[in-house]
Amino acid sequence: MDHKLQVLVKLNIDSTSAVLDVGGCLTRGSCQALFPIIRRTASLAHGLEVTVDLSAVDHIDEDGLWLLRDFGAGKFMDSTSPDGRGFGGVRDIVVPEHLPECEALRARNPGVEPAAA
């Protein structure tokens, strides 16, 4: 299966926030493509806060989700704000209650039960 992301940036010009609606598959590899999109979106206006909405994704890899959360918390050299604190651009990450699993991986392992969230 091709683990790609689809991203729609919703920006209200009268507001100080934006929403990234993410679809597709969020994996450890694909989530890194979100980092420059989050940075660019946050830079559109001084202090713009970004909500990353993962509620419509087809598949969420737990490793990818943790990597995205670490980026939002400023745990990477390029994700800290000028004052040295965490990356201030990520206000929230909206995640479904149960992480959706990849249909292709489930088809390859039909006897394996989905992990409890």
| Mean pLDDT for the stretch of residues 100-111 | 61
pTM to 2 decimal places? 0.77
Does residue 64 belong to any structural domain of this protein? yes
What total number of domains does the chain contain?
Answer: 1
Residue 2, Cβ neighbours under 10 Å: how many?
Answer: 7
Domain with 64 in it: what CATH number?
Answer: 3.30.750
Of 48, 57, 43, nearest to 7 (Cα)? 57
Give the model's confidence band at 110: pLDDT under 50 very low, under 70 low, under 90 confident, else very high: low
Q: CB neighbours of 30 closer than 8 A, spacing ≥ 6? A: 3, 4, 5, 24, 64
Please give the backbone phi and psi of residue 15, each rounded to the nearest 5 degrees, phi first.
Answer: -120, 175
Does residue 4 belong to any structural domain of this protein? no
Pairing type for strands 17-26 and 59-60 reads parallel
pLDDT in tens, 15-40: 778 999 999 999 998 988 998 898 88
Does residue 12 belong to any structural domain of this protein? no
Beta bridge partners of 20: 9, 52
